[in-house]
Amino acid sequence: MNAVGTATARKKIVLVDDQITNLNIGRNVLSHIYDVFTVPSGEKLLLLMQKITPDMILLDVEMPVMSGYDVMKIIKSLPDFNHIPVVFVTAKSDLGSELEGFSLGAVDYIYKPYSPPLLLKRIEAHLLVDEQRKELLDLNNNLEEMVTKKTQSVLELQNAVLETMAELVEWRDNETGGHIDRTQKYMRLLVDGLIESGLYSEETSAWDVDLLVLSAQLHDVGKISISDNILTKTERLSQQEFELMKKHAAFGGQVINKIQSKTSEQAFLNYAKVLAEGHHERWDGKGYPNGLSGTDIPLPARLLAIVDVYDALISQRVYKAAYSHEKAVEIIKEGRGTQFDPHLVNLFLSMEDRFKHV
């Protein structure tokens, strides 16, 4: 009995031998320590294993109908039983037979007649090794579960950071209400379409698409640095005010840089920085803040440029009425090769009906 008053479970060992005398000897040696099951053939062993799962099998090699090696091959092919340690106990004592036994997956090869004390010690050692294997497997499974939970926790934190920062922007810039949410949905459409098309596949194959789409929420995060007088103005901006407003792209990159400098969990903001800084760059190099052109503009930013303009066009502003979907599509089409990546515009045009129904 153990400390809590329950009997310690005894290990189950199955002896397989076609000689009844050998089975009786083995039972006498082992039964005071283990629960011993004896069967006269490989076929009977397989039937027994439908009822119990042994902790160890002591297997004779030379048996009629099905040899020990044949039985071993079957055991190793069964996912529920291939982990069970098998020890060959046999009179077949040539080196080639022993080598074959080990090559089939046996943990030991013991010759008859054996010394009972030695047999017990070797069984004890192999059961200990198997117990340690199970403990390591449990530990590994627990570690995997812990890593999964930790990863989920980190993802939830990342999402909370992205959503909270996006809400801060939208609270201040309430005239564009819904823009952030719609932009994220449009971004998902265009990114999924891009991947389906195979265009720029070398780049997109390395993307974390879910994180990229979530990061689109922060493309206007730089607006938190823009004066309320400009951000909430109910009239068209003057040229000077517009120049100040344009600085939100550079400010966005700076804001995200500052966050990244203060945390070790910063890689998830890489997409956000690219989108915040690059979504107003133009294919012809006449955009801002860095005047990048062509494929020097990061691909995620080139995608968002189309998405951002589309939503701005179909939305009402103090300085303009909302354009129709058709008019917005025509304007984007006119910007092909100047404002926008021509390949991405072609992609957008091929799926513009999907945008209309968001």
Distance between CA atoms of 34 and 11, rounded to whole angstroms?
Answer: 5
Residue 286 has pLDDT above 50, yes or no: yes
Tell how many helices (H) and how many strands (E) occur in the chain: 16, 5
Residue 336 has pLDDT above 90, yes or no: yes
DSSP structure string for 56-92: EEEE-S--SSS-HHHHHHHHHT-TTTTTS-EEEEES-
Lowest mean pLDDT segment, chosen from 17-21, 42-46, 169-173, 314-318: 169-173
Closest by Cα among 166, 159, 195, 196 to 299: 195
Q: Residue 144 corresponds to which tokens in the numbers above?
A: 């995997």
Q: Residue 37 corresponds to which tokens in the numbers above?
A: 């099951």
Beta strands in the chain (DSSP E): 12-16, 35-39, 56-59, 86-90, 108-111
Where does the pLDDT of residue 172 fall: very low under 50, low under 70, confident under 90, or very high at 90 and above? low
Q: Residue 92 corresponds to which tokens in the numbers above?
A: 């077949």
Q: Which amino acid is at 268?
A: F
Q: What is the Cα Rg of the chain in Å?
A: 35
For residue range 235-281, list pLDDT tens digits in order. 888 899 888 888 989 988 898 888 788 776 666 788 989 999 999 99
Distance between CA atoms of 65 and 46, rounded to whole angstroms?
Answer: 14
Residue with tokens 């991405």: 344
- Total-model pTM: 0.58
